[in-house]
Amino acid sequence: MTDAVLDALREIRLPYALYEMDIHRHVMEALQTSGIPFLHEAKLSKGCRIDYLAGSVGIEIKKGKPNEKRLMAQLMRYLDSDALESIIVVGWHSVRIPPVINGKRAEQVALSQLWGVSLP
């Protein structure tokens, strides 16, 4: 499931994310286009909501470059939940996260990097 969600998210070509809601809109469209059911603002535990939950894959949206420590703490909190088997951080910029957190898979999709490094 994680790979299917990753494939869907990697289809996004967002010209530039001025607001976080731009990323939200594109993520929803990408999941819908790929026929992946999802919940928006899914509650994982008390006071713990993740932006999207597609099956057992959590998706957290970040617009800017988040503080690494705070992001890690947030991801660990989310991954404590049994509802998640993996998590994907989607942002305009890349973030540095380890491939495995709490024994669960952690991935990132940097939307800027989906455009590539050279002209088409």
Partner 1 sequence: MNKPHDLPPYLRIDGAQADGEQTYGTLSYNRRSNCWVIKADPNVTELCKRLFPGTVSHRRGEARFTAHRRLIADMNWLMMRYPLIIAERDQKRWAEALEQAREYVRKRQAALRTPARIKPDQASFLGTLTAFQEEGLAFLLRTDRCLLADEMGLGKTVQTLALLSHLKAYPAIVIAPAHLISNWESEINRFVQKAGGEPLTVHAIKGLKPYTLPQADIYLMHYLLLRGWKQYLADAGIETVIFDEIQELRHSGTEKYSAASLLADQGGRVIGLSGTPIYNRGAEIWNVVNILDFHFLGNYESFTREWCYGYGNQIVAKPELLGDYLRREGIMLRRTKQDVLYDLPPKRRLVMTIESNHAIYQKLMEPIAEKLDQLRSDGELSGSKRSVLKMEIEQGERQATGIAKAPFVAQFVRALLEGGEKVLLFAHHHQVMDRYQKDLHSFSPAFITGRETQKQKETSLERFMSGKTDLCCISLRSASGLNLQQATCVVFGELDWSPAVHSQAEDRAHRMGQKDSILCYYLVSKGGSDQDMQDALGLKVSQFTALMGDQVKSQDEILQESQYAQRYVEQLVRRLLDDRMNME
Interacting residues toward partner 1 by CB under 8 A: 7, 10-11, 13-16, 18, 92-94, 96, 110-120
User: Shortest CA distance to 88 belongs to which of 2, 10, 23, 1?
Assistant: 2
For partner 1, give the closer residue by CB, 45 or 113: 113
Residue written as token pair 């952690």:
106
Tell me how far, at minimum, the Cβ of 106 lies from partner 1, in Å. Answer: 15
Helices and strands per DSSP (H, E), number in the chain = 3, 6
For partner 1, give the closer residue by CB, 74 or 108: 108
Tell me how far, at minimum, the Cβ of 41 lies from partner 1, in Å. Answer: 27
Q: Parallel, antiparallel, or unpaired: how do β-strands 100-101 and 86-91 relate?
A: unpaired
Tell me how far, at minimum, the Cβ of 94 lies from partner 1, in Å. Answer: 5
Q: Which amino acid is at 114?
A: L
